[in-house]
Amino acid sequence: MIKKVLGIATLSLLGGAAIASIVLSRKAKRKIYVAEQMAPISNRKRGFYEKYIKRIVDVVCSFSAIVFLSPIYATVAFLVKHRLGSPVIFTQDRPGLLDNSGREAIFKMYKFRTMTDERDADGNLLPDEKRLTKFGAWLRSTSLDELPELFNILEGTMSLIGPRPQLVRDMVFMTDKQRERHTAKPGLSGLAQINGRNAIRWEDKLAWDLKYIQRISFKEDMRIIYETINKAFLKREGITDGENATALDYGDELIKNNSVTMDEYIKKQEIAKKILK
C-alpha cells in the first residue's frame, strides 16, 4: 500500500513538473530576445548528458524544491513586501544561452528584491550602497534572494548548474573566448561560485566558467550542488565584494586596472544600452 502511494505521489510530482515546465517555457519564450549588436561566435557540441539528461534533472529538482520550499517563499515574500515594498520580485535582463545565430539570448532573471527605491532630489536612484538595507544584505548573505531563480530553471532559461548569468554590461566587455561560457545554459551556481564567488577577480571567475563547459557531467553537477549547499547555507559565505554593495562590473574592473581605455569603456557601455530593450 505504501509503495503504491509513493508511486502515485512520484508520478503526480513528475506530471506536475512537466506541465509547469511547458507552461512557463512558453511564457518565457515570448520575452526572450537576441543581442543583435554582438558579433556571432561558434557554438559547442554538447554531450549526451547535457543534451538529454540535464534538462530532466533541472525540471524535477526545481519543481520539487519550489514545492518543498513554498513556506519559505511565502515568508520571504511577506518580509520583502513589509520591509522593502513592491514589487517583491526583482527582474533583470541577463544574457543566456547562444541562439542559432551564435548570439546571446537575453532573458529575464528573477530575484527577491534587496534594495529600496530611494532617489535623490533629481529623481535619480541613490547608489546601491545606500539602497541596500540590512535586511537586503541578509537575504544576499543567505542566498535567499536567489530562490526565485528556481522558476527560471523550471521555465528553461537557466539550469541548476552552469556559468552564472552576468549583466549585459558585463557581457559586452568579454572576449569571444570568454563568451564561450554562453554555450552552456546559465546556472543557479557553478564552479566560480564554489571557488570564491565575488571574492575572486573577473578573469578568474570567467576562467572557472570555461573550465566548467569543458567537463559538464552528472557527477560534476552533483559535486557543485553539494559544495554550493555547503558554502551558501552551512558556511553562510556572502556574495558582497569588500565594501561594495555588489561586485564591480567587469568593465569597471577593466578600466580600474587600465585594461581598457575610457573611449573603449564608453563605446561598450553604449552597446550594452542598445542591446537592452
- Is residue 204 within 8 A of residue 176, CB to CB? The reply is no
| Residue 186 DSSP class | -
Cell 503526480, located at residue: 12
Instruction: Identify the pLDDT of residue 22.
Output: 87
- Most distant CA atoms of the chain, gap in Å: 71
Measured CA to CA, the distance from residue 249 to residue 257 in angstroms comes to 12
Among the listed residues 163, 120, 167, the one whose alpha carbon sits nearest the alpha carbon of residue 269 = 167
What pLDDT was estimated at residue 241?
43
Q: How far from the centroid of its chain's Cα atoms is residue 267's Cα? A: 26
Whether residue 161 contacts residue 153, with contact meaning beta carbons closer than 8 Å, is answered with no
Q: Residue 231 and residue 193: Cα distance in Å, rounded?
A: 9
> 3-state class of 232 per DSSP?
helix
**CA 51 to CA 54: how far, in whole Å?**
7
Q: What is the mean pLDDT of each run of 10 residues along the chain (277 residues)?
A: 57 74 87 96 95 96 95 96 92 96 97 89 80 90 91 97 96 98 96 82 95 96 92 58 63 94 97 93
Q: What is the pLDDT of residue 130?
A: 84
For residue 164, count CB atoms less than 10 angstroms from its CB and return exposed for 0-12, middle for 13-18, buried for 19 or more: buried
Q: Determine the Cα–Cα distance for residues 21 and 225; give it in Å rounded to an integer.
A: 21
What is the structure's pLDDT at 242? 39
Between the CA of residue 215 and those of 129, 176, 209, 221, what are the distances in Å?
37, 20, 10, 10
Pairwise CA distance, residues 168 & 146, whole Å: 18
Domain ranges of the chain: 2-275
Given this model, what pLDDT does residue 17 score? 82
Quick check: pTM over 0.85? yes
Whole-number Å distance between alpha carbons of 215 and 212: 5
